Structure 1
């Protein structure tokens, strides 16, 4: 696993959900804050999005938007302000047809098609790469920019149009791919984020790749420095400055974060989880887990299972 894959896997719960919306005329709908990440892909036409506490954003065909922290927002056919947003219809009954939509205008000249959806996230132990994402990531459709993202959007549009055999597997997989490509695209364009900088630094990136590829390995500062091809003081200085904690502190934190994800997502016994994340015994893992998260692995598993069932 690489850092980005691990960061996503640590917080993703269940399968993504989505609605395909086709509408015209005058419309304005609201999506309330959500314990996850919301996204929109404009397949045809144009519209506007107003995030809570933010500025309106114009969206055109091929644009993708990620709201990684579940920020509430309004989507409308035209620019929206606070007074307009207050009158917005709730999205869910509007999307499923419980609330009537305006008829498509003659000639469909103002028709808008969108893919609107959300990823369920467990934010209790989010990787800092995910936590660092801004409230809104807008990735406009520009020639030559983010070809992988553009290809994923095209595949999604085709899958929604055709509903071919296997679409029940293809669509969630494409939505997961969309999330990866949106985060990749943000990282490629970010000029201020700490984690794009860390992953762009050859020394820090080499150390992160090594420990994420095998978190259970008996890592030491010397071994990580050898993987990065530098001295131990050089690794400690650069890693700490870019990641925000020393290398071995990050190793410990990541092992316990990985353990939390395994407890949440698998039925593996504690001994298996301990072995997979580099602890010699269930007791050693339990002691470290309680110190980091303030609860035992068993209590954590029970609470997360109940939360996921809801």
Structure 2
């Protein structure tokens, strides 16, 4: 008997260790298919792209295997490239801020409206996702020109005395970027609002707080995580998009997406295009790290 007891305790402890090990491995086993997809279709191409950025570009060949930092030096020393990077970052930040503001107001309105209005507004927000970006661009081509809908509406309302054209302007590119990214921000923020109890607004009003105070002291802290996530999502989309600013903006609006396309297809300089893309990925990663560090741990579970 005295010998069997330690053996039973040892077997029980071994079984508990095996169970804990299985419980620790279970989440990784469930994520394994998704991790394989990410590594194969995203991780390996990204590594190949980074390696491509260090290759040589001689004559008209796409690339020559080698190792050089010249592409990165040219990237940060050429005023044309640095101005394009600054223009891209500036346009992306402005468009992201405007998108988050509009999406926040729209999401709060949907959250406060009765259920019979909710489905209609959500369907309205889904409209830009039901068509391609090219179709959206064609729609703006009918809206911004001199004989477009916007010019006609302003002329009929008496706000202007002559037709105007906003086509091929930075404002047109700005509006196009907002329209494309707004649905993503809206649904992120709506998910945050749906996690809140509307009775918090009633409690704040019963305590004598004004609507502005309620927003500043109650809603804003509880939705801060959603604002950061929506901003990062919009920034990632706008900083890497190529079609919308190229089709709606002026010829002088050179973004990083445009330069990557030009280096890749126009000048057949694959290493330089890869260097642009690598810097773009690093910039996006930095923005993600900053926004993640600004999130509140207390409310991060809403996302």
Q: TM-score, normalised by structure 1?
A: 0.26
Structure of higher CA gyration radius? 2
Q: TM-score, normalised by structure 2?
A: 0.26
Larger RCO (CA under 8 A, 6+ residues apart): 2
Higher strand share: 1
Higher helix share: 2
